[in-house]
Amino acid sequence: MNRNKKNLQLVKKLVELSKVDELVEASKVSEVLASLKELKIPHTLAILKLYLRQIRREIALHTATVYTPTSLSATVLSKVEQDFTKLYGRKIKAVAETDTSLIAGVRVRVGDDVYDSSVAGRLQRLAENVH
Domain ranges of the chain: 3-59, 62-130
8 Å CB contact between 95 and 64: yes
* pTM of the complete model: 0.77
**pLDDT under 50 in the chain at which residues?**
1
123: left (phi over 0), alpha (psi -120 to 50) or beta: alpha
